[in-house]
C-alpha cells in the first residue's frame, strides 16, 4: 500500500514518530480531498487546490500549511520518485513573527495550585526543566539523576540529546510517583504485560530491556 511505503521511507530516514504520524495524516487527507485518486494521477493543480483549501476554508496556520506541503512533497519525491513541481507550489507559507506570551511566576503558581497528581508533575517538569510535552511523556527512569539534579533528554527535537536541570521542587513528588509506577509495573509483568517498544535494534541486543524499569519507559514513560 502507498501509506505503508510512505511509512517505510520515513523510518529509513529515522524521522520521529510524530513526524511519521503527521506525514501519513496529511497524505491521507490530500488523497481524500481529491476524491481518492492516486497521487500519480495528480500534480500541481491538485496540490495547489489542497493548499488553498487549507489556507482559505480551514484557515490553518502557516506552519500547519508548510507541514502539509512538506509531507506531500516527501511522498512525491522520496516514495513515488516524481518531481517537477512548479516554483509557486514549492514556496512555503510565510510564518508571522509574533511576541511570545510569557506567564508571570504568580500566574504559573496559580495554575499549578489548581492541578494535582501526574498532571501537576508533568506541568512542573515542563516549566521547571524546560521539557517539551513529548519529551516529558517519554522520559526514562535511567535518565533522571537525583544526585546531580539532572535530566538527560534523549532524541529530542532534531534528534539531539541534551541535559537539563531537575528542579528541586519536583524531586519529592517525582520520587513518590516512581515508587507508584514501579508497583504498577510489577503488576503488569505478572499479567504478561509491562513491555514497551524500543528504538533501533536495542530489543534484539538486550532481550529484557523492554521490561526493565531502570532502563526503559514505563508504559509510555515516567509521566505517560
The pLDDT score that the predictor gives to residue 216 is 46
Please answer whether residues 169 and 126 qualify as being in contact, where contact means their C-beta atoms are separated by less than 8 angstroms.
no
How many residues are recorded in the chain? 224
* pLDDT digit string (tens) for the chain, length 224 residues: 899 999 999 999 988 888 999 999 999 999 999 999 999 999 888 999 999 999 888 989 888 999 999 999 999 999 999 877 664 555 566 767 778 888 999 999 999 999 999 999 999 999 999 999 989 988 888 899 999 999 999 888 777 899 999 999 999 999 999 999 889 888 988 888 887 777 667 777 777 777 777 654 444 445 55
Q: Is 151 helix (H, G, I), strand (E, B) or coil?
A: strand
Cell numbers of 186, please? 510489577
Please answer whether residues 90 and 116 qualify as being in contact, where contact means their C-beta atoms are separated by less than 8 angstroms.
no
The pLDDT score that the predictor gives to residue 220 is 41
Please answer whether residues 159 and 201 qualify as being in contact, where contact means their C-beta atoms are separated by less than 8 angstroms.
no
Give all domains of the chain, ordered by start, each with its CATH number.
Answer: 2-90 (1.10.150.130), 105-186 (1.10.443.10)
The pLDDT score that the predictor gives to residue 129 is 94
The pLDDT score that the predictor gives to residue 18 is 87
Q: Is 137 helix (H, G, I), strand (E, B) or coil?
A: helix
User: Beta strands of the chain (E only): which ranges?
Assistant: 144-145, 150-153, 162-165
Measured CA to CA in angstroms, residue 10 lies from 21, 25, 27, 67, 75 at distances of 10, 13, 13, 14, 10
CA distance linking residue 50 with residue 37, whole number of Å: 13
The pLDDT score that the predictor gives to residue 199 is 67
Amino acid at each position: 500500500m502507498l501509506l505503508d511505503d510512505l511509512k517505510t521511507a520515513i523510518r529509513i530516514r529515522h524521522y520521529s514518530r510524530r513526524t511519521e504520524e503527521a506525514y501519513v495524516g496529511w497524505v491521507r487527507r490530500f488523497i481524500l480531498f481529491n476524491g481518492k485518486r492516486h497521487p500519480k494521477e495528480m500534480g500541481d493543480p491538485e496540490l495547489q487546490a489542497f493548499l488553498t483549501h487549507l489556507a482559505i476554508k480551514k484557515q490553518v496556520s502557516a506552519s500547519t500549511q508548510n507541514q502539509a506541503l512538506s509531507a506531500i512533497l516527501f511522498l512525491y519525491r522520496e516514495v513515488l520518485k516524481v518531481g517537477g513541481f512548479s516554483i509557486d507550489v514549492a514556496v512555503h507559507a510565510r510564518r508571522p513573527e509574533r511576541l511570545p506570551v510569557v506567564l508571570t511566576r504568580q500566574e504559573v503558581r496559580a495554575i499549578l495550585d489548581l492541578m494535582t497528581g501526574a498532571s501537576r508533575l508533568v506541568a512542573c517538569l515542563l516549566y521547571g526543566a524546560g521539557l517539551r510535552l513529548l519529551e516529558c511523556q517519554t522520559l526514562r527512569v535511567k535518565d533522571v539523576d537525583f544526585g546531580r539534579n539532572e535530566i538527560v533528554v534523549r532524541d529530542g527535537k532534531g534528534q539531539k540529546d541534551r541535559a537539563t536541570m531537575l528542579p528541586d521542587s519536583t524531586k519529592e513528588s517525582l520520587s513518590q510517583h516512581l515508587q507508584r509506577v514501579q508497583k504498577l509495573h510489577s503488576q503488569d509483568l505478572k499479567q504478561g504485560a509491562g513491555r514497551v517498544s524500543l528504538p533501533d535494534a536495542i530489543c534484539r541486543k538486550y532481550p529484557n530491556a523492554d521490561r526493565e524499569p531502570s532502563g526503559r519507559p514505563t508504559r509510555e514513560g515516567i509521566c505517560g
